[in-house]
Structure 1
Amino acid sequence: MTTHILLVDDNSKLRRLMKLTLEKEGYDIKEAEDGEVAKDLFVEHHFDIVLTDILLPDTTGIKLLEEWKEKKPNVCYILCTAYGDVEDAVQAMKLGAFDYLTKPIKAEELKVVIKRAVDWVRLNEENHYLKKVFKEKRQLHDMVGISEKMKRVFDMVHKVANQTITVLLQGESGTGKSRCAQAVHLESDRKEQPYIEVNCAAIPDQLLESELFGYAKGAFTGANQSQKGKFEAAHKGTLFLDEIAEISLELQAKLLQVTQNKTFYPLGSNEQKQVDVRLIAATNSDLWEMVQGGTFREDLYYRLNIIGIHIPPLRERTEDLPLLIEQMIQEISEEQGQSYQLESGLLKQLSEYSWPGNIRELYNAIARAAVLSEGNILKLEDFPNEFKQTVKSDNAQETGELQDEAQLGEDFSLTDRLQSYEQTAIEEALRQARGNQAQAAELLGISRQSLLYKVRKYQIER
């Protein structure tokens, strides 16, 4: 994406030098020698960054900043001031300038400040996009989405919420089936009644029966008093059985009875209990395949699957990723008491990753990044290795393709070749020195200060 910059300065020589320097970096530049020309250009064209001198023949950069900042707050404004003119610089920063440069301007300092400004602009654009999308989102309690597949999920939840029929939620691990179950309960007329979750895979099968149905005093060694089960505890409310495919055939028979008749016998008791419970079940397995394989009862399958809702994996609802990421960052920010945001360009990389672990993996990755980040900006290096390796592999492939094209093209100048070689040499030295910059500088035969400058120049990860 091309960055558009407006240079405003009455010094034509300086303006030309800045333009040449920035055009070599790939930026699109337009020039103005005074405020009047600058104002016309500002109205006629879109600019990401405005770099203006404070003293102009017909106005000041401060006045331009005051006028333009109100109209276009998302443009990044940088002012140039004479050496030692601190008061003007301070006033500019108070009015919302991103930064200032002191004359005489050095080419490398100019490039560094503009690069930082570009990062600010991109981050601002991403945040603006997220806010816009967030306004258009559809939300059902903790579930968010704008994708067609999630809209269908929301519609199904609304349709079945006030019915008493059993719902079967199916989808890969980590897709948010438990959140969907909660949404069904909270949308129903049972929302003021108990909502109880049971993970059938987390409880040994010999204990699961007593957990669900309770037990009578003396039912087994250690049963010194009667105990209610989850079905009885969820009376008038909702019981969510996650990982339903993990229960044994023997327990499936008892579960079938309670789904059909709303009755059951506690373990070790002859007293029949009757309950009014809304049952929701979930699985990441193919229950019909298990039925055909003889490991899941066919009659129970039909009782559970009266209404089936499929929760799509993240790779099938990529439009929702920015929403989910923003929601998770907000949640983690509230928990940690610090406002986090992603570094420029990272949202795009997060949105392009397949997230095989779905919402659970995404949340854990962002929570990890928040813990490891040195400030409130979450960076690529703060994320898990599997994500970083995928991103770096993609970037390396793109870089390799670009370099191949450049080497074959006529415009691949000697300067470009030398810079490419220099970057490779620095990366290799840092690798051999295991990241020790002093040792790497010694290997390269340059000062540590020179190495730090070149690392920033080529954006080499340290």
Structure 2
Amino acid sequence: MDDQRNMRTTTALVLRTEGYTVSEAATGQEALDFLTSNSVDVLLTDLKMEPMDGLSLLRKALEAVPRLQVIVMTAFGSIDSAVEAMRLGAYDYITKPFKDGVLRHRVELALERARLLSQVNLFADEFNERHNLNALVGTSLAMRELKSRLLRVAQSDATVLIQGESGTGKELVARALHTHSRRSSNPFVPVNCAAISESLLESELFGHAKGAFTGAVKARRGLFEEADGGTLFIDEVTETSPAFQSKLLRALQEGEVRRVGESTSVRVDVRIVAATNRDIEIEVREKRFRQDLYYRLNVVTLRVPPLRERLEDVHDLARHFLERANARNSRPRRLSGSAVAHLMDYTFPGNVRELENLVEQAAALAEGEELMPEDFPVRPQAQITPSLGEVAAAFRAPGAPAQTLAEVVEEAERRAILQALERHEKDLARVADELGVSSTTLWRKMKRIKLLETGTGSEPHGK
């Protein structure tokens, strides 16, 4: 897509000689009309166009085809515009004038990513349908790993500890565990320890005899007994006192509970799934949580990632919440591409729960049928993209000479790769998947910036 005919024709010719099917558009609107009626993997567009510029086309194109890979072309003096395009969701940018080989390579990488995303989304949809995991929305690597681990542990009776920040969806994970266990036909019983006072929690979980305390006008079964044969989900387990923890530990060890005010115990067959939003190992070290209970609960751990670690899932989550809101409201809404880009600039301290509230609020209060950035009153935080000069300044020490563009890019790549290597324990395949490059490309980059000399990886096998 370029409004300069010679540039457009030459670029298309280069790509056609490589065997690609290429369609040309002289205006942004012409490109959009083609995108909405044809299957397109990669959009190559200039930024300086009229009447619709490249950034406007980018927003509208990603709104129409969210999985589209967009490469923007820009003059060297307009690098800031290219950075803005990347922030809005472009896959890559290329500065003019460019060599034919550079163009072919960038398009090849974009097509590779488009194919991988298509396969991932296809498998994810089939996977979710087959395993009834549609409530756990997201196709990011972190969510795929969580779902896979969940299904492996679900069939056992192992006690599971779910860790994650508030609002990440820990109860949804617990319910999915129960749904895929052999206990699925029996009760799933949740209890939030933070919502019940310490004096009532023991009675709530273990039950009580008639007259055991003021107000106990009749005997009552506790939640352990209610969950017999099924799953008991103990949420915010670190909010309990050491005294209560000792009673909970005994119930887990013995497989029986004693109602408050009674002298005999009742056998129960319950699978325990516990959850916490705190760092439980710190709680143990600080003597606020019993170590023996921690070991009893921490047979298998599932970590639910915060939303800021899987921002690629924001679009699917926002669309999911909007569909639910539309089902309740008489006036259906739709999500604009610019609104999605706006949301992805936000770090979501309240995680998925905060995104859900934002979407429901926008669906209820927006004036137009299309939700726009102004309908989501959030202020971008850590995701704000700095200018190229600010990036360069951040990578050099005070008083150091200015870096070239190549040096800035190399340092940025070094930091991104090192951080990904740490997150994925030096697994190059997973690092390449997160960074959106092939394993071979990752290895070459690591070799070029001398990361392989530190023993962080080895040459990959195959292509």
Q: TM-score range by the shorter chain?
A: 0.5 to 0.7
Verify: 1:222 aligned to 2:212, yes or no: no
Q: 1:125 aligns with which of 65, 90, 100?
A: 65
**Residues 207 and 260 in structure 2, CA contact (< 8 A), matched pair in contact too:** yes
- Does the 8 Å contact 2:36/2:64 carry over to 1? no
After TM superposition, the structure 1 = structure 2 runs for residues 79-158 of structure 1, keeping only pairs within 5 Å, are 111=51, 120-126=60-66, 134-137=121-124, 139=128, 140-158=133-151
How far apart, in 1, do the equivalents of 2:157 and 2:230 lie?
10
**Is 1:195 aligned with 2:188?**
yes
Q: Which shifted more, 371-380 or 196-205?
A: 371-380
**CA distance, structure 2, for counterparts of residue 334 and residue 283 of structure 1:** 32
What's the secondary structure of 2:367's corresponding residue?
Answer: coil
Q: Does 1:388 align with 2:388?
A: no
Task: Mark the CA change 1:119 to 1:151 in structure 2 (over 3 Å): closer, same or farther.
Answer: closer
Contact preservation (8 Å) 1:168, 1:308: yes
Instruction: Specify the alignment match of 1:45 in structure 2.
Output: 23
Give the distance between the partners of 2:312 and 2:242, measured in 1 at CA: 40
Report what 1:16 is aligned to. Answer: none
Give the letter for the 1:155 counterpart: S
2 CA distance for matches of 1:260 and 1:172? 28
2: distance between equivalents of 1:193 and 1:6? 67
1:185 aligns with 2:178: yes
Take 2:156 and 2:63, find their aligned partners in 1: how far apart are those partners? Answer: 45
Consecutive unaligned residues in structure 2, runs of 5 or more: 10-20, 41-49, 70-113, 391-463
Which residue of 268, 280, 297 maps to 2:273?
280
The answer to whether structure 1 residue 301 and structure 2 residue 301 are counterparts is no
SS in 2 for 1:308: strand
Shift of 1:6: 10
CA deviations on 1:249-282 (whole Å, 9 max, x unpaired) are 1111111111111101111111211111111000
Structure 1 residue aligned with 2:347: 354
The equivalences for 1:290-329 within 5 A come to: 290-329=283-322
Contact 2:162/2:303, CA 8 A, preserved across alignment: yes
In our comparison, the structure showing a higher alpha carbon Rg is 1
Q: Secondary structure at the match of 1:291?
A: helix
Structure 2 contact 159–273 (Cα < 8 Å) conserved: yes
Whether the 8 Å CA contact 1:48–1:121 is kept in 2: the answer is: no
Q: How far apart are the structure 2 equivalents of 1:346 and 1:47?
A: 26
- TM-superposed CA distance for 1:69, in Å, is 9.9
What is the match of residue 375 of structure 1? 368
Contact 1:6 1:50 in 2 (8 A): no
Q: State the one-letter code of the partner of 2:342.
A: Q
Q: 1:261, 1:332 → 2: CA distance?
A: 46
Partner residue of 2:153?
Answer: 160
Q: Deviations over 1:49-108 (max 9, x none)?
A: 5879xxxxxxxxxxxx9xx8996499xxxxxxxxxxxxxxxxxxxxxxxxxxxxxxxxxx
Question: Are 1:258 and 2:251 matched, yes or no?
Answer: yes
CA contact (8 A) 1:215 1:268 kept: yes
Q: Is the contact between residue 347 and residue 381 of structure 2 (CA under 8 Å) also seen in structure 1?
A: no
Query: Matched residues in 2 for 1:113 and 1:312: separation?
Result: 37
CA contact (8 A) 1:249 1:296 kept: yes
Q: Is the 8 Å Cα contact of residues 28 and 54 (structure 2) preserved in structure 1?
A: no
Answer yes or no: is the 8 Å Cα contact 1:201–1:243 preserved in 2: yes
Paired position in structure 1 for 2:358: 365
Match of 1:239 in 2: 232
Q: Which digits, 9 at most, give the CA deviation of each residue in 1:380-403, with x for residues without a partner?
A: 12113xx23549x948x65999xx
Cross-structure match for 2:329 = 336
Q: Match of 1:345, SS?
A: helix
Distance 1:230 1:244, change over 3 A: same
TM-score normalised per structure 1: 0.60
In structure 2, do the counterparts of structure 1 residues 271 and 318 end up closer, same or farther at CA, with 3 Å as the change threshold? Answer: same
Give 1:211 shift.
Answer: 0.8
Q: 1:363-442 maps to which residues of 2 (within 5 A)?
A: 363-384=356-377, 387-388=378-379, 390=381, 394=384
Q: Secondary structure of the equivalent of 2:228?
A: coil
Instruction: Provide, for residues 213-250 of structure 1, a one-character-per-residue CA deviation record: whole Å limited to 9, x for no partner.
Output: 11110001111101111111111111101100001111
What is the root-mean-square deviation in Å for CA atoms of aligned residues? 3.6
TM-score scaled by structure 2?
A: 0.60
CA contact (8 A) 2:342 2:373 kept: no
Cα distance change, pair 50–361 in 1 and its aligned pair in 2 (3 A)? closer
CA distance in 2, matches of 1:51, 1:126: 17
1:204 matched to 2:191 = no
Q: Which amino acid aligns with 2:316?
A: L
Residues 354 and 48 (structure 1), Cα distance of their counterparts in 2 relative to 1, 3 Å cut: farther
SS of the aligned residue for 1:302 comes to helix
Alpha-carbon shift at residue 366 of structure 1 (Å) = 1.2
Deviation at 1:369, TM superposition (A): 1.2
Contact 1:6–1:49 under 8 Å retained in 2: no
Aligned residue type for 1:205: E
Aligned residue pair count: 317
Does the CA contact (< 8 Å) of 2:345 and 2:381 recur in 1? Answer: no
Contact 2:121 2:139 in 1 (8 A): no
Aligned partner of 2:425 in structure 1 is none
Judging changes above 3 Å, is the alpha-carbon distance between structure 1 residues 162 and 125 closer, same or farther for their aligned structure 2 residues? closer
Q: Quote the sequence identity (%).
A: 37
How far 1:142 moved relative to its partner? 0.8
Deviations 1:150-209 (A, max 9, x none): 222112211111211210001111111111101100111111111111110011111111
